[in-house]
Structure 1
Amino acid sequence: THARAHLPAAGAAAMDVAESPDLQAQLAAAVHALNHASHPSARLAANQWLLGLQRSPHAWALAVSLLASADHPSPSADLLFFAAQMLRRKIQSPDYSLPDNAAQLLDALLVAARRFCLAPPRLLTQICLALAALALRAEGGVDGLFARMPHLPDPALLELLTVLPEEVAQDESGDTGVDSATRCRFARELLMHAPAVLEFLLAQSEKPAAADGVPLHERNHRILRCLLSWVRAGCFSGAPASALAAHPLLTFAFNSLQAFFSFEVAIEVMTELVSQYQELPQAFLSKMPYIREVLLLPALANRSEKIIAGLTSLMCEVGQAAPGLVAEGSNEALSLSDALLRCVAFSSEDWEIAESTLQFWCSLAHCILGIDEQTSKRNATQELFLPVFSSLLDALLFRAQIIDIDEHCTGRVSSIPDGLVQFRLNLEELLVDICLLLGAPAYINKVCLFC
């Protein structure tokens, strides 16, 4: 690891310099030039000056001073964002040590989070990222931060709780300032607070509209973002399967599929849960008739590709997590198969939706083909799914064709879209499986119809 150069704490002398009107005016001018100057050389010069400032011992106090400023008018949004970003970068950088008074820095950032809880989201996010980075690196940072959290307004607390678990995975983004052992300890300390976090999120999901000045659809989106972060961190680890399947936050996420504004993040939450917890596919499979009838069929009729793609992703995750459960051929399993068949057949300008289902179909085919051929179970299962895979072959062959040929291409060779080329290449394994399930004669007859 890099050696961290020691910098003096932001004491009285540093604070005096930081609060100098001349330095603050220079900083404001540089930030304005960086964001708004028309000439590249002016932006480059401003960037170099700001990098030099960030390396200076005065940066800590200057950034804190700006975020705490009571001046009227207050500093510009760009300047406040830069101050929060500069603090975050200095905290995260392996080239600087934390100031000796890290607890005071933590308190100053919490004051800023309270002050700017309803400010432009990017500013609050930067402040919360700085707090999360400080909690990871400071002695007793996690417990110290959670002890102070009750003083935060709900919007600030939601954002802070969203970014905190993301620090666990920061190694993947190239941050080398913290070793894996420290991150593991940070993750364990965080998860000790998971029950309280889930209680807070549940209480937030039950609050009346605009109770904290945030529109209901926006608050629900933030709740789901926060829940996703904690699910990825393992907040439900060790929970009994029955309790997890019936958890009210899971119900909240499922109900959020009906709200366009929160649909995508709700899909992410449920997909993540299904991938992590093997007990959940059964619970989700029971919801498939509802998903098909109430959500998917209207989306197909309206050609809402965002909704179709999201539901396809969730259904494939459920199916791939438990292909044996699908192969049992229950009404819910057949509803899932029919829904995904419709997604394959959906004609869009690209092939991403159809392609995203291929691994599910391969998993299901392998599961059926893996049953002992001599057993009645194999015969019954294969017989049940023959119409499904026959329809699937029709849909795949249809989607693998070039339907719309440009009339103006006469006299020259028209190119096959790259997406179609890749789609065709990725069909190979699944087509072999379908041939084995249908039998060679039936397979060849179908293929010949499309030649």
Structure 2
Amino acid sequence: SESTKPSLDSNMLFSLFQALHQLYYDPNIENKNLAQKWLMQAQVSPQAWHFSWLLLNLDKVPEIQYFGASALHIKISRYWNDIPANQYESLKSQLFSQITRFASGSKIVLTRLCVALASLALSMMPDAWPCAVADMVRMFQAEDSNVDGRARCLALLELLTVLPEEFQTSRLPQYRKGQVRSVLAQECGSVFPLLEQLLQQQDSPGFIKQKVLKCFSSWVQLEIPLMDCENLIQAAFTSLQDPDLFDTAVEAIVNAISQPDAQR
């Protein structure tokens, strides 16, 4: 996808690494501030399409990879109209493969990449990517011998958790927000059975159950009818017996019963 990637000269790349080094490692606060200002401009420049992928190389430190992932999120969430429609698919598959690569890597980078893909999905729904959530679930459930199954499961849960959160803060115009909200409310049919299964599995480790409850908590804030999440609310009540899950379970239950639908 060349047209969203203006050519990047070596001077720009050198300046980029220099500024990142100053931001993270220079003890001089003035230098840090100047570097931060320059980097914020670089993130919104046309060249960001190009350098963000280079910064995600696995030989880079997590701070630099994080900046690359953040630049992608900014470009997708704020400059969506700059992306030609014929490049949506390649952008989507590049993000999927980066998330798979980082599933066993840096947690902060993985989260930023998930947020970038969530933003892409919201912008493409419902016309350009009608079954986005079902596709995400299917992609991460497919066998990939290079990625540990548990890491893949956590990456999927992270992606599903940040999706409703990204929706709440997105800059979508009002009419699009209503449209996307109703698509997401239907798509919970792809999410809730998976969450139920993970909560009820005897061998699910605590940290997976924790992520499941957080994910559920995130989805119920989309005003999902209580009838649609009855089983998960019951599972959350059962989780109250586990001291490690107690706080997260309480939060999920409170979010579920304090949404407008629950008041009817």
TM-score, structure 2 as length reference: 0.82
Indicate the residue corresponding to 2:143 in structure 1: none
Indicate the residue corresponding to 1:97 in structure 2: 81
Identity percentage of aligned residues: 25
Amino acid at match of 1:111: S
1:50, distance to aligned residue in structure 2 (A): 0.9
Indicate the residue corresponding to 1:206 in structure 2: 200
Would the aligned equivalents of 2:137 and 2:190 in 1 still touch at CA under 8 Å?
no
Structure 1 residues 223-280: Cα deviation after superposition (integer angstroms, max 9, x where no partner): 0110011111133x1728xx82xx1x2232123223333222211111122224887x
Would the aligned equivalents of 2:236 and 2:252 in 1 still touch at CA under 8 Å?
yes
Tell me if 1:150 matches 2:128. no
> For the aligned residues, what is the CA RMSD?
2.7
Amino acid at match of 2:54: S
Indicate the residue corresponding to 1:125 in structure 2: 111
Indicate the residue corresponding to 1:262 in structure 2: 245
Indicate the residue corresponding to 2:19 in structure 1: 30
Match of 1:109 among 81, 95, 103: 95
Structure 1 residues 193-237: Cα deviation after superposition (integer angstroms, max 9, x where no partner): 111201111122234547xxxxx22111110110011111133x1
Runs of 5+ unmatched residues, structure 2: 141-151
Larger radius of gyration: 1
Indicate the residue corresponding to 2:181 in structure 1: 187
1:80, distance to aligned residue in structure 2 (A): 0.7
Evaluate the alpha carbon distance shift between residue 208 and residue 147 of structure 1 in structure 2; reply closer, same or farther with a 3 A threshold.
Answer: same
1:135, distance to aligned residue in structure 2 (A): 1.4
Evaluate the alpha carbon distance shift between residue 46 and residue 278 of structure 1 in structure 2; reply closer, same or farther with a 3 A threshold.
Answer: closer
Q: What secondary structure is seen at the aligned counterpart in 2 of 1:258?
A: coil
The count of aligned residue pairs is 248
1:149, distance to aligned residue in structure 2 (A): 3.9
1:9, distance to aligned residue in structure 2 (A): 3.0
Match runs of 1:319-334 below 5 Å: none
Indicate the residue corresponding to 2:68 in structure 1: 83
Q: What secondary structure is seen at the aligned counterpart in 2 of 1:97?
A: helix
Evaluate the alpha carbon distance shift between residue 120 and residue 142 of structure 1 in structure 2; reply closer, same or farther with a 3 A threshold.
Answer: farther
Q: Which runs of structure 1 show a deviation greater than 6 angstroms over 4 or more consecutive aligned residues?
A: none
Q: What secondary structure is seen at the aligned counterpart in 2 of 1:88?
A: helix
Would the aligned equivalents of 1:124 and 1:156 in 2 still touch at CA under 8 Å?
yes
Distance 1:29 1:263 in 2: 46
Q: What secondary structure is seen at the aligned counterpart in 1 of 2:81?
A: coil
Indicate the residue corresponding to 1:253 in structure 2: 236
Distance 2:236 2:18 in 1: 45
Indicate the residue corresponding to 1:441 in structure 2: none
Evaluate the alpha carbon distance shift between residue 256 and residue 29 of structure 1 in structure 2; reply closer, same or farther with a 3 A threshold.
Answer: farther
Q: What secondary structure is seen at the aligned counterpart in 2 of 1:167?
A: helix
Match of 2:209 among 197, 210, 220: 220
1:25, distance to aligned residue in structure 2 (A): 4.1
Would the aligned equivalents of 2:44 and 2:74 in 1 still touch at CA under 8 Å?
no
TM-score, structure 1 as length reference: 0.50
Would the aligned equivalents of 2:115 and 2:159 in 1 still touch at CA under 8 Å?
yes
Amino acid at match of 2:81: S
Distance 1:271 1:110 in 2: 33
Would the aligned equivalents of 1:162 and 1:226 in 2 still touch at CA under 8 Å?
yes
Higher relative contact order (CA 8 A, sep 6+): 2
Amino acid at match of 1:269: A
Tell me if 1:63 matches 2:52. yes
